[in-house]
Structure 1
């Protein structure tokens, strides 16, 4: 089930990992011995850590597979970012099952905020167009990849097409930003916020699907390279506030936390 996982890390020196190191850490957390690292479908994301002190990092990741989050992600006490050893001093989980997301109250408006460069790919080329169909389409693909072809929660084409036809942009405030791609060149993308709304004649079914996908967005991220720190997304729904701080899952998600002091190998 979708889980937003925050790890508090204590390092031996001030450290800002590059994209390849960050991706490697995410794979170490979420890919087990039997995982296919070359698979194009990866049901996890990672964000660039934020420094709360010279040797203290908060690392935000997410898992959105249908099974339980891998034990390595929540039980590891020492991690490596490149050649730097990090002690895990605290873990915090926020989770919401797919069935709960699918049953979310209908909505006709939501604001998505993109905290790291966000882009899409078309025929192998990067696309920076903040098209609502591309944005929610990426969430739909992640959702369907996770729940599988035979799941009753799978989003079929006809339902998706109804949502596409009803999507409108109400407000947009974005800018172009660049981030280390992990391949020796910077990758451009857009950051900022987009408020989406539905057409007035959108059906209740379309409103429910819209609510489910925008609530799912913080878990899946948006666009390409979400396992490399791109596309970090939060959602704000009418009458609700996003939790203060850096990117986290949308309000209303159940949270659990644990703390471990003096972790060691």
Structure 2
């Protein structure tokens, strides 16, 4: 079942944890020996580490229909071992997401750099059509067939979605000790034109809720494209 997983870590000294190391830690936590490590759409997404109330938090998203693996009491982030103080699972289902209240506007907070990969080139801007397509592709990779977003539905959304407003900047983030990635960081407001029907608005709302779990764009398994939904309105 889809879920957000909020982990509280005993991580002292604020070591440099690169996205590549977040990816490795998430794979160790959420993949099994039978997992296909090379699959295009992995069943998890990774958020950045952040501090709150003196503790280090790490938010993961679980996209698969089956429950996530049980988490250990201790994890390794690169060359740093740390205890898991607490883990909170906020479970949902594709049926519940698909039954979201219809919406025409969504305010997204991009909390880690977001970018898209297009034909070997990076696109570090919040293109509304790319956002919707990326979410729909990952939804269809993991949702039961009953809740799949058909090509017709996807065309209806991409044909009506637009970028209402954005505020932020592109930032260059280290992926490892030697590599960097540029992505968009800030807020994005998406809208649907007035002609969007009830079904289109419902699927749009479902995808925006799904973005909280799945993230948006490329390398979401490395901590890129983490999203918070600030507003979802009719």
TM-score normalised by structure 2 residue count: 0.94
Aligned to 1:108: 104
Structure 1 residue 117 and structure 2 residue 116: aligned?
no
2:11 and 2:163 map into 1 onto residues whose CA distance is: 43
Structure 1 residue 57 and structure 2 residue 33: aligned?
no
Aligned to 2:188: 194
Structure 1 residue 236 and structure 2 residue 224: aligned?
no
Residues 119, 12 of structure 1: CA spacing in aligned structure 2 closer, same or farther, 3 A cutoff?
closer
Answer yes or no: is the 8 Å Cα contact 2:114–2:125 preserved in 1. Answer: no
User: What SS does structure 1 have at the residue aligned with 2:159?
Assistant: helix
Unaligned runs of 5+ in 2: none
Let me know the Cα RMSD of the aligned residues. 1.8
2:185 and 2:215 map into 1 onto residues whose CA distance is: 13
Structure 1 residue 25 and structure 2 residue 18: aligned?
no
Answer yes or no: is the 8 Å Cα contact 1:12–1:85 preserved in 2. Answer: no
2:229 and 2:113 map into 1 onto residues whose CA distance is: 16
Unaligned runs of 5+ in 1: 240-265
Aligned to 1:262: none
2:82 and 2:10 map into 1 onto residues whose CA distance is: 5
Q: Tell me the number of residue pairs that the alignment of Structure 1 and Structure 2 aligns.
A: 234
Identify the match of residue 145 of structure 1 among 141, 145, 154: 141
Answer yes or no: is the 8 Å Cα contact 1:12–1:84 preserved in 2. Answer: no
TM-score normalised by structure 1 residue count: 0.83
1:58 and 1:25 map into 2 onto residues whose CA distance is: 14
Deviation track 1:32-61 (CA, whole Å, cap 9, x = no partner) reads: 11112122221111122113477x421111
